[in-house]
Amino acid sequence: MPSPLQPLASRAATGGLIAAGLLAAGLLAAAALPRQQAASAKDLPDPAVAETPAGRPTATATAVLAGGCFWGMEAVFEHVKGVKEVVTGYAGGTAATADYERVSSGDTGHAEGIRITYDPSRVSYGQLLKVFFAVAHDPTEVNRQGPDVGSQYRSAIFPTDPEQRRVATAYIAQLNRSGVFTKPIATTMETWRGFTPAEASHQDFVARNPNHPYVVLHDKPKVARLKAEFPRLYR
């Protein structure tokens, strides 16, 4: 994705940027880049395996997910009822390499991700996963989302406890069996190694830059799908 601190320019080596003219021309972008798979929320089953009540004794819980550019992921989950806070950042690598420029190289082990603090009495981890798979990104893409290419844009789940790992593992298997997607789920289940918040310029980027070309083309449509397909969860 384009850095908010840089002009729009081609950066195919890292998958971080696409040409300014291509980005501004939505029709050209749509024609030149692979389309994300359309999986309507109504087609996705609810998770068959749920967290046990004893697994969530506190008023808040934390989920860490990665699925392409963290701007759009953050924007989607900020509109989910029961979510108290969403922070963009880096997961999967070490804190020493958790900065935007180094992560953009694709060799730090990090993925651009979000940390979600939520109220499990209002929204379950399973519901968050359904939003993740249905509208937040394309879970069948390997190391890319739309124009963004590289391992830092992989689809990944970072369970913060055994309950989350159990629910997420079962749901991925369930989705693969369901045949909702024409390709296998590429989402990886990764070891929790902590989460480093991204730079201030990347926090609440969509809310602060609603007319940014990348936001208009790639992020706002995700929020619109959330509203249309999850009306009871949307706020």
Q: What kind and span of H or E run contains 224?
A: helix 220-229
The catalytic residues are: 69
Within a domain: residue 6? no
Shortest CA distance to 141 belongs to which of 48, 33, 228, 11? 33
Mean pLDDT of 209-224: 98
Q: What is the pLDDT of residue 1?
A: 75
Within a domain: residue 117? yes
With cut-offs at 50, 70 and 90, classify the pLDDT of residue 38. low
pLDDT tens-digit map of 120-174:
999 999 999 999 999 999 999 999 999 999 999 999 999 999 999 999 999 999 9
Within a domain: residue 207? yes
Mean pLDDT of 221-233: 97
**In the chain, at which residue ranges do the beta strands (DSSP E only) sit?**
61-67, 83-91, 111-118, 144-145, 148-149, 155-157, 188-189, 195-197
Within a domain: residue 27? no
In this predicted structure, the answer to whether residue 22 has a pLDDT above a threshold of 50 is no
> pTM of the predicted model, to two decimals?
0.86
What span, in angstroms and rounded, lies between the C-alpha atoms of 147 and 19?
A: 10
Instruction: Residue 153: give the domain boundaries.
Output: 37-229
Q: What kind and span of H or E run contains 127?
A: helix 125-131
Q: Which of 31-35, 79-83, 106-110, 223-227 has the lowest mean pLDDT?
A: 31-35
Domain tally for the chain?
A: 1
Within a domain: residue 51? yes
pLDDT tens-digit map of 44-66:
999 999 887 655 556 899 999 99
Q: Which two tokens stand for residue 213?
A: 């070309």
**In degrees to the nearest 10, what's the CA dihedral of 112, 115, 116, 117?**
-170
Within a domain: residue 188? yes
Q: Which of 17-21, 109-113, 116-120, 154-158 has the lowest mean pLDDT?
A: 17-21
Average pLDDT for the chain: 86
Within a domain: residue 112? yes
Q: Find the CATH number of the domain harbouring 190.
A: 3.30.1060.10
Q: What is the pLDDT of residue 19?
A: 34
Within a domain: residue 198? yes
In this predicted structure, the answer to whether residue 190 has a pLDDT above a threshold of 80 is yes
Q: How many Cα atoms occupy the beta-carbon half-sphere of 36 within 13 Å?
A: 23
